[in-house]
Amino acid sequence: MRENNGTTNSGHNKLVQDWDEELMEISSFPASVFIGLRFKARGRRPNNWCNAPQLEHVTEICSVSNCVVAGPMIWYSGYGVGAHWSVEESINTLIALDPTRAAELIELGILHPDEFYTDDQLGLCAYRTFPWTFSKASSPLVLESRELFVAEYPLPLPEPDWTEFERLGYDVVQFRPVQLMDLDGIERYDHSMASAGYGCSPLSCNYLAPSFPVNRYCLLDTIDAAFQIAQTFGREEPEPGPFAIVEVLRRRV
What's the chain look like in SS3?
CCCCCCCCCHHHHHHHHHHHHCCCCCCCCCCCEEEEEEEEECCCCCCCCCCCHHHCCCCCCCCCCCCCCCCCHHHHCCCCCCCCEECHHHHHHHCCCCHHHHHHHHHHCCCCCCCCCCHHHEEEEEEEECCEEECCCCCCEECCHHHHECCCCCCCCCCCCHHHEEEEEEEEEECCCECECCCCCCCHHHHHCCCCCCCCCHHHHCCCHHHCCECCCCCECCHHHHHHHHHHHHHHCCCCCCEEEEEEEEECC
Paired residues of 220 in beta bridges? 170, 214
Taking only the tens of pLDDT, the chain with its 253 residues reads 554 444 444 444 445 444 444 444 555 778 899 888 777 888 778 888 888 888 999 999 999 888 888 776 655 543 333 334 455 544 554 544 567 766 766 676 556 666 666 667 778 888 899 999 999 988 899 999 999 887 777 788 778 889 999 999 999 999 988 777 655 444 433 323 323 457 889 999 999 999 999 999 999 999 999 999 999 999 999 999 999 999 999 988 7
- Contact predicate 181/86, CB 8 Å: yes
- Contact predicate 194/80, CB 8 Å: yes
pLDDT of 108: 62
pLDDT of 10: 42
The pTM for the full model equals 0.78
Class of residue 220 by CB neighbours under 10 A (exposed 0-12, middle 13-18, buried 19+): buried
Domain count along the chain:
1
CB atoms within 10 A of CB 13: 11
Candidates 5, 6, 26; CA nearest to 227 is 26
Residue 1 domain-assigned? no
CB hemisphere CA count around 24 (13 angstroms): 17
Residues spanned by the domain of 199: 10-251
CB hemisphere CA count around 120 (13 angstroms): 1
Residue 222 domain-assigned? yes
Residue 215 domain-assigned? yes
pLDDT of 122: 77
Q: Side chain identity at 168, as an amino acid letter?
A: L
Residue 113 domain-assigned? yes
Output phi, psi for 148, to 5 deg. Answer: -80, -10
pLDDT of 179: 72
Residue 5 domain-assigned? no
pLDDT of 111: 62
Residue 4 domain-assigned? no
Triad 68, 46, 174: Cα angle to 5°:
20
Q: Side chain identity at 10, as an amino acid letter?
A: S
Residue 2 domain-assigned? no
